[in-house]
Each structure stands twice: as C-alpha cells, then as structure tokens.
C-alpha cells in the first residue's frame, strides 16, 4: 500500500511578470529571461524562458515590458531553488542588438506577492574595446551564460554595473507541510 506521503508531491507555482528595466544607458530595450532550477525540480507546465518586446520609452528612462511569467514545478528537494536569469539588450536604429547587462536573482522561497529588483552588469574589455563599443557597438559577451548564476570563474571577470530589471512575482507553495517544511 502506498502511503499518503508517496502520492502527494510538493509543488511550486510562480506567477508574475517582468515589469521593466531602468537605469540602462540605451532606451530601446528588451530582455531575454529563463528560470534555472536544480535537479530535484520537475517542470510541469508554463514557459521556463522567453523574451520581451522592445520598448522605447518616451518619458523617463524606464522600459515597460509587462511580460508574463507563469511556471509550475513539482519538487523532490529544496536544493536548487529557482533563479531568474536575465539578459538585457538594446536595439539600435539599424536593427542591431547589443548586450546591456546580465543578471540573476533568487526567486522568493516564501509564499505571497514579492517585488524584486534584479541588478545587472556587463563584462568590460580593454580601453580600446570600450572606445569601439561607444561608436560601433558590440561589446564583450560571455561565452558561457552559466557564468551569470554560477560563481566558479566569475571572480576573474572585470565588469561594470548596468541597470535594474524590475520583477513582480507571486509564489504559491503546495504540500510542503507534508514533508515537514514550514513557511
């Protein structure tokens, strides 16, 4: 006979949106995003990655994306709690894209509505690279996007702070108490 604990799985439902980005040097911005989890997490439904539309704000420096996020997981262990990984790009008048910043934030582990500010950074090159980027575009980018959220070799990077991605996230936890986890 299968016990009640074996038939019930802990679940996490993340519902929210990428509100927008502010503080970036360019105005026409869009964001690529993904949710990274550990091996104990099983994706049930919803998109784990996506891209916003380009916004060119007429007033202020805040790009408004209002891009929805709705993803549902079952959980075998809390190791590898979800991280939101973002890459912000600018679009120039010729249709070229340039990296504006990388960033990540751990998503909240408590149920309820949360407002998160995800700060971003970009790698810097030599003085010549930075000068060329100002006039031609195309600055340095990471070969491996995993460096954004894993600290293995990130300490060797030279970076500069960029803008902030604003996130609104609602977290719904289900059946965690069956496994002795209180929140």
Domains of the chain with CATH codes: 4-119+164-174 (2.60.40.150)
CA separation for the pair 72, 11 (Å, rounded): 7
Q: What is the pLDDT of residue 59?
A: 76
| Residue 144, CB-side half-sphere exposure with 13 Å CA sphere | 9
pLDDT tops 60 at residue 2: no
Q: Residue 104: which pLDDT band, with cuts at 50, 70 and 90?
A: very high
- At 10-59, the pLDDT tens digits run 999 999 999 999 999 878 999 999 999 999 999 999 999 999 999 988 77
- At 105-140, the pLDDT tens digits run 999 999 999 999 999 998 886 666 665 666 666 666
Of residues 76 and 171, which shows the higher confidence score? 171
- At 63-99, the pLDDT tens digits run 999 999 999 999 988 899 999 999 999 988 778 888 8
Enumerate residues 6+ apart whose C-beta is below 8 A from 27. Answer: 56, 57, 61, 63, 90
3-state secondary structure 96-124: CEEEEEEEEEECCCCCEEEEEEEEEEEEC
Q: What is the pLDDT of residue 57?
A: 83
């Amino acid at each position: 006979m299968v016990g009640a604990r074996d038939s019930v799985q802990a679940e996490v439902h993340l519902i929210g949106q990428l509100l927008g980005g502010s503080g970036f040097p360019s105005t026409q911005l869009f964001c690529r995003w993904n949710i990274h989890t550990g091996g104990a997490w099983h994706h049930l439904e919803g998109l784990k990655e996506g891209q916003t539309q380009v916004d060119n704000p007429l007033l202020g420096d805040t790009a408004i994306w209002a891009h929805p996020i709705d993803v549902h997981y079952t959980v075998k262990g809390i190791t590898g709690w979800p991280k939101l990984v973002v890459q912000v790009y600018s679009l120039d008048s010729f249709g070229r894209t340039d990296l504006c910043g990388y960033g990540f934030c751990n998503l909240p582990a408590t149920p309820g509505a949360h407002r998160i500010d995800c700060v971003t950074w970009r790698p810097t090159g030599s003085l010549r690279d930075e000068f060329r980027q100002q006039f031609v575009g195309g600055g340095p980018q990471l070969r491996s996007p995993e460096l954004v959220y894993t600290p293995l070799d990130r300490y060797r990077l030279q970076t500069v702070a960029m803008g902030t991605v604003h996130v609104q996230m609602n977290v719904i936890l289900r059946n965690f108490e069956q496994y002795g986890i209180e929140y």
